[in-house]
């Protein structure tokens, strides 16, 4: 029996999550197939009603979770105007006063989306996995507890209205970390004076990983793993290639001296093999995340 999972059990599995399935449930089958000793995580949940890309991180891939979380995410969202819900999507209960939308849209309703591009302040939804006094916000909200969350600075890199027939619009958004598309629907509605909520949401892409290349979570297994180096390349990190001697020092947690000073996080390689991530400061390179498979490569 291997002390470490085999190479194909390290990396990223691109899942295409169907609607009606939680992110935890989407990982369940994969966890069973890679074995109990192999850690499995993800790079950002999808709401149960949403579909599309869920990045599963397997084995050494879990050590690159921050990297995966930093990748831009692209969504296709359907926004319905006229009523809001407590969850900000179609699974929730209508709240507030509904607005008669039969008279047509407010002037400039589509132009209003431009205000949500770039860095914006966004109040997270009460029905979210964020914690309030150590408890999940959605757990409190379901019990009828009023949840108050502080606004956060988030980024929407690009917004495009793909189609629109009042009172519905289909919008493509490319966002940064921590962005809630449900909140975009709420805030767009508030901006034009008409309540709104999401009726459909599909995550079509995370970095270079597309839903079209995803596998059904019920079929996912270790053979679907994409090597960890693909994730490092997707993040467009600087690359540092070490000699075998320096590589051994790096995986052992010792400081490595570099010929060319640099700063920031870099992907560290020996030959073509990703050893992990290192933090560069001037001529010093320190390990930030070391892949367990890299130790095996150097010992082989």
Cα 68 → chain centroid: 7
Least Cα distance to 179 among 123, 110, 236, 115 occurs for 123
Active site residue 133: no
Contacts of residue 14, Cβ cutoff 8 Å, sequence gap at least 6:
53, 55, 56, 209, 210, 213, 214, 215, 224, 226
The one catalytic residue in 47, 60, 89, 246 is 47
Q: Judge contact between 171 and 162, C-beta under 8 A.
A: yes
Cα 251 → chain centroid: 28
Is the backbone of residue 207 left (phi > 0), alpha (psi -120 to 50) or beta?
left
Least Cα distance to 201 among 47, 70, 62, 97 occurs for 47
Which residues are the active-site residues? 47
């Amino acid at each position: 029996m291997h002390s470490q999972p085999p190479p194909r059990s390290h990396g990223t599995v691109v899942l295409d999550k169907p609607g009606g399935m939680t992110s935890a449930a989407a990982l369940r089958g994969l966890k069973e197939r890679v074995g109990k000793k192999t850690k499995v995580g993800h790079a950002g949940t999808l709401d149960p009603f949403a579909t599309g890309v869920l990045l599963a991180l397997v084995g050494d891939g879990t050590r690159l979770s921050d990297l995966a979380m930093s990748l831009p995410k692209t969504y296709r969202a359907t926004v319905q105007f006229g009523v809001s819900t407590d969850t900000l999507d179609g699974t929730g209960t209508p709240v507030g006063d509904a607005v008669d939308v039969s008279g047509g849209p407010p002037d400039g309703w589509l132009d209003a989306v431009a205000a949500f591009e770039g860095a914006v302040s966004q109040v997270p939804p009460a029905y979210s996995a964020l914690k309030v006094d150590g408890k999940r916000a959605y757990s409190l909200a379901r019990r009828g507890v009023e949840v108050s969350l502080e606004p956060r600075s988030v980024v929407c890199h690009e917004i495009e209205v793909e189609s629109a027939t009042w009172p519905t619009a289909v919008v493509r958004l490319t966002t940064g970390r921590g962005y809630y598309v449900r909140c975009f629907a709420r805030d767009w509605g508030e901006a034009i004076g008409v309540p709104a909520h999401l009726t459909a949401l599909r995550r079509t892409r995370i970095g270079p990983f597309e839903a079209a290349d995803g596998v059904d979570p019920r079929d996912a297994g270790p053979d679907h793993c994409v090597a960890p180096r693909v994730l490092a390349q997707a993040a467009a990190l600087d690359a540092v290639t070490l000699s075998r001697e320096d590589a051994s020092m790096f995986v052992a947690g010792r400081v490595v001296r570099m010929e060319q000073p640099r700063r920031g996080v870099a992907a560290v390689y020996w030959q073509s093999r990703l050893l992990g991530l290192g933090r560069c400061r001037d001529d010093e390179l320190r390990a930030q995340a070391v892949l367990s498979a890299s130790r095996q490569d150097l010992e082989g």
